[in-house]
Amino acid sequence: MPSSSSADQVADSPAPRLPADHPAVNELFALLAYAEVAAFYRLTDEAKMAPNLRGRISMASIAAAEMGHYEVLRDALESRGVDVVQAMSKYVSALENYHRLTTPSTWLEALVKTYVADALASELYLEIAGGLPDECVEVIQAALSETVHSQFVVAEVRAAVTASAKQRSRLALWARRLFGETITQAQYLLADHDELVDLVMSGAGGLSNVTAFFDRLQHTHDQRMSELGLS
Amino acid sequence: MPSSSSADQVADSPAPRLPADHPAVNELFALLAYAEVAAFYRLTDEAKMAPNLRGRISMASIAAAEMGHYEVLRDALESRGVDVVQAMSKYVSALENYHRLTTPSTWLEALVKTYVADALASELYLEIAGGLPDECVEVIQAALSETVHSQFVVAEVRAAVTASAKQRSRLALWARRLFGETITQAQYLLADHDELVDLVMSGAGGLSNVTAFFDRLQHTHDQRMSELGLS
């Protein structure tokens, strides 16, 4: 019976994927492109807190990798005929605001932010991208690809919190604040940009799975806290 | 006759090349590695003067490319068993001093410095590397490889100096000061580091050709001034 089969299909994939030429794709690429640029400048600023040349260089390498990611998105946007700088402009204030609200005050706080908040942001972007065709998801994945640099963060933070219980509780609190602020700001961003909401709604499960998604975010966040010795 | 053939060889290449495992190679690699890191931080600092997002992104891309160059040298040093950060440390003060003496006060001065002084420094490094075996020169060349970004510098500076004669004479003066300061600081650096002098002496022609070398530097500098509309 065709009608029943169609109903099964709806149950399997509640919302159809957006087409690759949907304007929401450009919006997500542009948001992510500016996020990479903002991360570049934030990391180089924070590198000034590094206690030594080694830390300053590690931070510079992470920052440079963000520009590599930016270039992936810029190329994708250009090949879609988009004026990249203009498209990014509308996301400048939201991202600057986010970084202002989560400015680290010490080198260790900067390291924790690099590790915890950047990974969380990646998960948010990938979830938003869930409703896109594979070719678009691949661009996002390339732009979010893990760099090899994060091991130096784990080593430095673990050493510091192993040596000092006070440092551990201070950084655990900081990481919890980063988690909350990142989720909050992501919600504001979605609320301000309808095209991005379309993407979330068209993703696997749409908004009906938002609770499960936040559970997953909390779970991976807890794992990262444990890796850093902060749980 | 072997002896005559050997004499011919000496006439062709007045000084023998240093072997690849000469300690001076590590010194030059370390100097250049820190020069890339210093350039990275200088460019990201100066990008704050950019009048718009487009300029800020172009500067970030150039800076990120410097870190790519740094990584070439880091890998070469590591494969030679050198502690990279320690080896670079002795060149920190000379390079920070150079950048302090040539800090641009406007965005256009920053662009001119990016174009003029970085090219000049490359020529100096390649000259110092002249006495090295090919495998070492190739590392240096990879680390100094031109990026595609410099065209944006030419376009912005030309537009500015075409629009304003006052701006043209101001930037021409600035470029001349950069030329002088770069040469002067390079001489101080050599004077402080005997191993690097060994390299210059072992290069094609050694010190006997220093005058010809400075003539060449002046010539390529004049060409760049002309490209920027500053001659």
Q: Kindly report, residue by residue over A150-175, the tens digit of the pLDDT.
A: 788 999 999 999 999 999 999 999 99
Name the residue among A61, A71, A85 with its Cβ closest to that of B53.
A85
Higher-pLDDT residue of B50 and B206 is B50
Using a CB-CB cut-off of 8 Å, the residues of chain A touching B40 are 44, 60, 64
Using a CB-CB cut-off of 8 Å, the residues of chain B touching A64 are 40, 63-64, 66-68
Of the candidates B157, B167, B181, the one whose C-alpha atom is nearest the C-alpha of residue B101 is B181
Share of chain A above pLDDT 90, in %: 61
Using a CB-CB cut-off of 8 Å, the residues of chain B touching A53 are 37, 85, 88-89, 92
Integer CA distances (angstroms), A32 to A97, A114, A139, A189, B17, in order: 15, 16, 11, 12, 50
Share of chain B above pLDDT 90, in %: 61
Higher-pLDDT residue of A150 and A32 is A32
At B7-26, the pLDDT tens digits run 444 444 455 677 888 888 99
Q: Is A203 left (phi over 0), alpha (psi -120 to 50) or beta?
A: beta
Is there a contact between B64 and A40 if contact means CB atoms under 8 Å apart?
Answer: yes
pLDDT for the residue numbered A132: 86
pLDDT for the residue numbered A51: 95
Pair of tokens at residue A57: 């260089």
Per-residue pLDDT at B202 exceeds 80:
no
Q: Where do we find the tokens 């890191």?
A: B37
Is there a contact between A70 and B53 if contact means CB atoms under 8 Å apart?
Answer: no
Which of A34, A44, A45 to probe the B interface (max B CBs under 10 A)?
A44
Per-residue pLDDT at A4 exceeds 50:
no
Q: Which amino acid is at B180?
A: G
pLDDT for the residue numbered A124: 86
Using a CB-CB cut-off of 8 Å, the residues of chain B touching A89 are 53
- Nearest CA-CA distance, residue A49 and chain B, Å: 13
Per-residue pLDDT at A223 exceeds 70:
yes
Higher-pLDDT residue of A124 and B104 is B104
Separation of first and last alpha carbons in chain B: 54
Mean pLDDT of B42-61: 94
Per-residue pLDDT at B129 exceeds 50:
yes
Complex ipTM tops 0.90: no
Per-residue pLDDT at B102 exceeds 80:
yes
Integer Cα distance of B202 and A67 in angstroms: 39
pLDDT for the residue numbered B204: 58
Pair of tokens at residue A178: 């980063």
Is there a contact between B85 and A53 if contact means CB atoms under 8 Å apart?
Answer: yes
- Nearest CA-CA distance, residue A127 and chain B, Å: 27
pLDDT for the residue numbered B126: 86
Count residue pairs from A and B with Cβ separation < 8 A: 62
pLDDT for the residue numbered B6: 45
Mean pLDDT of B143-156: 81
DSSP-assigned states of every residue in B93-120: HHHHHHHHHT--SSHHHHHHIIIIIHHH
Do the Cβ atoms of A42 and A99 come closer than 8 Å? yes
Higher-pLDDT residue of A218 and B16 is A218
Is there a contact between A85 and B44 if contact means CB atoms under 8 Å apart?
Answer: no
pLDDT for the residue numbered B203: 64
The CA radius of gyration of chain B, in Å to the nearest whole number, is: 19
- Nearest CA-CA distance, residue B84 and chain A, Å: 9
Q: Where do we find the tokens 């700088």?
A: A85
DSSP annotation of A162: H
Mean pLDDT of B188-209: 75
- Nearest CA-CA distance, residue A54 and chain B, Å: 6
Helix (H, G, I), strand (E, B) or coil at A90: coil
Name the residue among A54, A61, A67 with its Cβ closest to that of B61.
A67
